[in-house]
Amino acid sequence: MFLNPEYVVLSLMGSAFFAVMSLMTWLHSSSTSKKPYLSRFTSMILSYLPPTPSPEEDTKDFADLIECHETAARLAELIHKDGAGTWPPTSNYDHSSWPMPLRPYLDIYYEMAPLLATSNPSLDDDINKVRIDYFRSRQATLLDDHVDLDAVTELLKAAESGRWDVFPRDVYNAFYCCIAWHRHAYR
């Protein structure tokens, strides 16, 4: 059995490349290194790498294609609408910036999240059923007591009609993350 020398050299070069990149990443992450020759080596190698583009630069790459390419137009629409103008999408979890009718969802999340995990898991189905029933009833009670569904419906209708001044997109994204957690936790 004979090995093709080109494949052997190529695989060795690839392995060396990944080893150097791993070393550089490790050295770059530990910037408090006390070995100046390593940081100089890292700086020298990193100077050959292209800078990481900002999110605005990433979207500029396909902005020229929007007029003539349907996929680019759809992607731009996705970033503008669902990404709150950036990709990856922006989410705002600052409680004070949420519209008042939505704040109880985040408050209930903060109250219920610690109850979801347990330090002593049980293999007894009866104990687990009691725990699940307690969690679900507590969550349902809190939602019923604190959420004004009429006001939430008004906000969702405002978002659906494009009134993002009433319900900012970044808050909209964070709200849906919160709703997803509530749905997952209830199951």
C-alpha to C-alpha distance for 182 and 184, rounded to whole angstroms = 5
Same structural domain, 182 and 100: yes
Same structural domain, 60 and 33: no
Same structural domain, 60 and 42: no
**Domain tally for the chain?**
3
C-alpha to C-alpha distance for 93 and 178, rounded to whole angstroms = 9
Same structural domain, 102 and 158: yes
Last-in-domain residue among 28, 60, 90: 90
Same structural domain, 83 and 109: no
Same structural domain, 163 and 123: yes
Same structural domain, 158 and 110: yes
Give the domain extent around 23: 5-47
Same structural domain, 31 and 108: no
Q: Between the CA of residue 175 and those of 148, 151, 178, what are the distances in Å?
A: 15, 14, 5
Q: In this predicted structure, what is the pLDDT of residue 78?
A: 74
- Dihedral, CA atoms, 86, 89, 92, 97, nearest 10 degrees? 60
Same structural domain, 114 and 134: yes
Q: In this predicted structure, what is the pLDDT of residue 42?
A: 56
> Mind listing the pLDDT tens digit of every residue in the chain (187 residues)?
455 565 555 566 666 666 666 655 555 555 444 545 555 655 666 566 556 555 555 556 666 666 777 777 777 777 776 666 767 777 888 888 899 999 999 899 989 988 888 888 889 999 999 999 999 999 999 999 999 999 999 999 998 888 888 888 888 888 888 898 888 888 7
Whether this prediction's pTM lies above 0.75 is answered by no
Sign of the Cα torsion 32, 33, 39, 41 reads negative
Same structural domain, 72 and 102: no
| Cis preceding linkage at 53, omega within 30 | no
Same structural domain, 9 and 80: no
Task: Read off the tokens for 169.
Answer: 């997109």
C-alpha to C-alpha distance for 119 and 109, rounded to whole angstroms = 19
Same structural domain, 99 and 84: no
